[in-house]
Structure 1
Amino acid sequence: MSRPTHDYAAIEVPSAGVPLPVDGGPVTRPQPELIEQLKRVSTATASATMHRFGIRHTFIQGPLPRTPGAKVVGPAVTLAFMPQREDVFSGAAQEGAEKRGALWAVFETVESGDVLVIQAFASRYTGCVGEMLTTYFKGRGGAGIVVDGCVRDWPNIQQIGVPLWTVGFTPNYASQAELFPWGLNVPVNISNVLVLPGDAIIAEGGGGGGGAPPQGGRRGRPPPRHPARGGVVRRQKAARG
C-alpha cells in the first residue's frame, strides 16, 4: 500500500486575525497631591503598609536599579510584550511593524511624571526599548522606566538621564528574539506582581547599584510612614480631616 503524499509547502496557514495593538484606553491617574505625598514614602514602608491593608503582592522583585541614588514616584503607563506566534506576528516583519504597534503607541500616551512599566517575562534576549525611545520618553516628561527584561543601547541610555530599573542588557531590538510588543496600557505581570495602568509606582535606587526594586500600589490613599516618623502621619490625618 502506498503512502498518501501531501504537499505541505502549498498549505497556507490562516491568520489568527488578532487586531493589534491591544489598547487599554485612557489611563486614570492618581491626583497630583497623592503622588507628592508618596514621594516621602520608601518602598519598604509602602510594601509593609499595603500588607497591613491586606494587599500582599506589591513589591516587584527582579528589575534592579541602574541609576544609583535615583527615586521616582508616578503613575504607571504599561507596555506588554508577549511571545511571538507566526500566525499573529513574526519577527520577520522586524522594526517596521514595531512602529505601527504598541511599542511606539505607548509613548504617545506618556504624560509628565509617568513611569513606564514593561512586561517582558525577564527575557534576556528582547531589547524592549533603546536610545531613541528613551530620548522621546524623556522629552515627553517621563519620570522613569521599569523593565521586567532588558534594554538595548545601554551606554547611550546612561547619558540620557532617565532613571531605569531592568533585569539586564542586550544588543537585540524589540521583535528580534522571542517576544513582541502586544498591548499598551493593559494590566501587566511584572515579576508575578500585577500592575494596572494608573497605579502609583515607587522606585528607588541605592548607591553602587544596590537599592530597592520598584513597588506598585493602588490608587487610594498614600501609605503613612511608621508612627515614629509622625510628622507625615499627622499631615495626612489633617488632610483627611
Structure 2
Amino acid sequence: MSDSSAPFPRPAFDLPVRGGAYQRADPDTLRELERVSAATACAKLHGMGISRSFVEGPRPLAEGQRIVGSAITLQFMPQREDLASGHGQEYVERHTALWHVLEQVQPGDVLVIQAFGSRYSGCIGDILARYFLRKGGVGIVVDGRIRDSDRIKDLGLPVWSTGTTPHYASQTDLFPWAYDVPVAVGGALCMPGDIVIADGDGPVIVPQAMAGSVVESAQDHEDWEVFSRLRLDEGARLSDYYPLTPDSREEYEQWRSVQAFAR
C-alpha cells in the first residue's frame, strides 16, 4: 500500500521559467502612439491583417485610465503538487516568476499577465503594485483578477483586470510559472516587447514590428476624425464626413494645412 503522506517525486525541472532576450519598444514610437486610441490601433491592425489584437475581458479599474507602454509578460499555469503549488501559502511566491518579473521592470513598462480569466487568483496586490509603480511601470493588464483593489486605485496605477478577489496569487489553482515569455490574454497573443495601448475600450496589443505602420496610418485617421467631429457638430451630413468622401477629404487636407501652419 502506498503512503499518501510521502513527498512527491520531483521532476528535474527548474522554476521559474524565463524566456529569451528581447528588445523593448522604442521610446520615440511609444510617444508617437500616445495620440492613438485603442479603437484606432485595433482598426488599423485589422486592416493590416492582424485580426485579433483586442484583449477581451479586462476592464479598467478606474474611469479615465489610458496607457501606452512596452509589454513585459508573466504567465500563470495550473498548479501541480509535484512541481508548484500554493500549499506553502503566499510566502512561497517570493521565489516565483511573480517576484522575478517585478525585478525586471523598467520605466515605461506594462505588465501583461496570463491568468486564464481566473476568478480566484489575485495576481497583483497592493505591495507588488507599489513596487511596480516605484520602478517606473505605467500600467498592468491582467487576464484575471487583482486583490487590494481600493489601495491600488488610491495609488493611481492604471490596471485592467477581469475583476477583484480577496485571494493572493497562488491561493487557488494557478501558480506564477514563467516570465519574459509569450502570453495569451483575453484571446490575444502578447510577445515580450510588444506595445500595449489601453483605454476605456480595453487593451490592444500592437506587434512591435508593426508599430511604425500603425503610427503612420493612425495619425491621419485620428486627425480626420477630429475634423469630421467639428463638421458634424456644425450640422453637416454624416455620409459626407464619416468616412471622408473625395470632396470632404480635399476639404480636410486644406483644414489640416491651416492647423499645421497655426502651430
Instruction: Classify the TM-score, shorter chain.
Output: 0.7 to 0.9
Measured in 1, the distance between the counterparts of 2:98 and 2:79 equals 14
The match for 1:71 among 54, 66, 77 is 66
The match for 2:169 among 156, 167, 174 is 174
SS at 1:39 equivalent: helix
Aligned-pair CA distance for 1:22: 0.5
Aligned-pair CA distance for 1:17: 2.5
Measured in 2, the distance between the counterparts of 1:218 and 1:90 equals 33
The amino acid that maps onto 2:120 is Y
Measured in 2, the distance between the counterparts of 1:56 and 1:161 equals 32
Moved over 6 A (4+): none
Aligned-pair CA distance for 1:88: 0.7
Q: Is 1:47 the equivalent of 2:42?
A: yes
The amino acid that maps onto 1:192 is G
Query: Residues 1-241 of structure 1 correspond to what in structure 2 (within 5 A)?
Result: 6-9=1-4, 13-204=8-199, 211-220=200-209, 221-223=212-214, 224-225=217-218, 226-227=220-221, 229=223
- Unaligned 5+ runs, structure 2: 226-252, 257-263
Assess if the C-alpha contact under 8 Å between 1:65 and 1:166 holds in 2: yes
Q: Mark the CA change 1:9 to 1:218 in structure 2 (over 3 Å): closer, same or farther.
A: closer
Measured in 2, the distance between the counterparts of 1:139 and 1:110 equals 10
Measured in 1, the distance between the counterparts of 2:39 and 2:71 equals 19
Assess if the C-alpha contact under 8 Å between 2:67 and 2:197 holds in 1: yes
Q: Specify the structure having the higher radius of gyration (Cα).
A: 2
The amino acid that maps onto 2:130 is T
Measured in 1, the distance between the counterparts of 2:179 and 2:43 equals 29
The amino acid that maps onto 2:30 is I
Aligned-pair CA distance for 1:12: 5.1
Higher helix proportion: 2
Measured in 2, the distance between the counterparts of 1:10 and 1:91 equals 17
Q: Mark the CA change 1:227 to 1:203 in structure 2 (over 3 Å): closer, same or farther.
A: closer
The amino acid that maps onto 1:219 is Q
Q: Mark the CA change 1:189 to 1:227 in structure 2 (over 3 Å): closer, same or farther.
A: closer
Measured in 2, the distance between the counterparts of 1:128 and 1:89 equals 16
SS at 2:31 equivalent: helix
SS at 1:138 equivalent: helix
Measured in 1, the distance between the counterparts of 2:86 and 2:94 equals 13
CA RMSD of aligned residues (A): 2.1
SS at 1:81 equivalent: strand
- Unaligned 5+ runs, structure 1: 1-5, 205-210, 235-241
Equivalent residue number for residue 237 of structure 1: none
TM-score by length of 2: 0.80
Identical columns (%): 46
The amino acid that maps onto 1:167 is T
Aligned-pair CA distance for 1:229: 2.0
